[in-house]
Amino acid sequence: MRGAYRLRGGLFLGSLLGVAICVLAAVAAGSGEGDQAGRAVPTTAGSDARWIMERSNLAYYYAGSDTRYRMVLEMGYREEPKRLRVMTVLRWNEAPGGEQRYLLYFQQPGDVRRMSCMTRKHVGAADERWIYVPASGRVMQVRAPERSSFLGSELVREEFSGRDVDADQHRFVRDERVGGHDCYLVESTPRQTEDFTRYATWIDRVTFLPLRQEFWNSRGERSRVFVGGRIAEIPSRRERGRRYPTLMERSMSNASGRWTKMSLDSVAYDVGLHDTDFSEEHLRIPMREWLP
């Protein structure tokens, strides 16, 4: 008799479980549908993914007609002591979204104080780079892939100077809040084989600065995470009332435990740089007024 009871009890429990599974499945299916609906009809009018990315590219890499700032790079591995790089960066834009010139003057560590780098960024062609090595007294051209490490940090070169918007296919996913900011979430997949298979960017709806970026590798693992920190409104030196929102802190961390933090200070926009300032001569000897 008792056996029969137990059996009936088992049946009861089993059916209960079955119902529960059905309910869960229904809920899951329902949420899936909702998600699909969200993707099909963007909640924001005119939020074309490519347009968002282009705006973001301009806000992040092309602010001002030129700029000058000091940048502190900290690089570390887990809890271990970190390496430090301090440099002054000069940038000049030919036109928004067009050619650019960069000059980097290193201040720390001590023995690289007089070293410097120059980059000519071309659109749709390989960038040109030079390095000045005081120890050999020579300026040398450097050829390096866009996706190789920027100064040994977790960032790649093109993440310092900008990636071609059309190198990837972009898709708007949804609106999402990140750290108190309303953001567009855009998912991008590269048109050519890269060291990542896709990445997602959370772009502030107001400033169009990227507040977060996540990269996935070919194994479907999240391999790198970029986080944007404090945004400051930096006034233009030329145009009164014009302000450029700037990410003063950024970090990139790698799933392997390595990380890089960048912080900016002494940021100035529209300081009056010229194309001709970016020359071999100034690579060797910087103009005093440029350095903060």
CB of 17 to another protein, least distance (A): 24
In angstroms, how far is the first alpha carbon of the chain from the final one? 91
Alpha-carbon span 185 to 5, nearest angstrom: 56
Residue nearer to another protein on the CB measure, 119 or 207 = 119
Alpha-carbon span 124 to 119, nearest angstrom: 15
Residue nearer to another protein on the CB measure, 81 or 180 = 81
CB of 159 to another protein, least distance (A): 14
Residue nearer to another protein on the CB measure, 72 or 231 = 72
CB of 142 to another protein, least distance (A): 5
Closest CA to 63 of 55, 71, 72: 55
Pairing mode, if any, of strands 243-247 and 231-235? antiparallel
Residues that bind another protein (CB under 8 A): 75, 77-78, 80-84, 106, 109-112, 115, 131, 133-136, 138, 140-145, 148-154, 195, 217-219, 223, 254, 256-258
Closest CA to 71 of 266, 211, 231: 266
CB of 280 to another protein, least distance (A): 13
CB of 243 to another protein, least distance (A): 33
Residue nearer to another protein on the CB measure, 73 or 203 = 73
Residue nearer to another protein on the CB measure, 80 or 289 = 80
Alpha-carbon span 126 to 145, nearest angstrom: 9
Residue nearer to another protein on the CB measure, 12 or 77 = 77
CB of 70 to another protein, least distance (A): 18
**Residue 91 in contact with residue 100, Cβ under 8 Å?**
yes
Alpha-carbon span 55 to 138, nearest angstrom: 39
Return the SS3 of 276. helix
CB of 145 to another protein, least distance (A): 5
Return the SS3 of 30. helix
| Rounded (5°) CA angle 128-166-211 | 90
Residue nearer to another protein on the CB measure, 28 or 84 = 84
Alpha-carbon span 18 to 37, nearest angstrom: 29
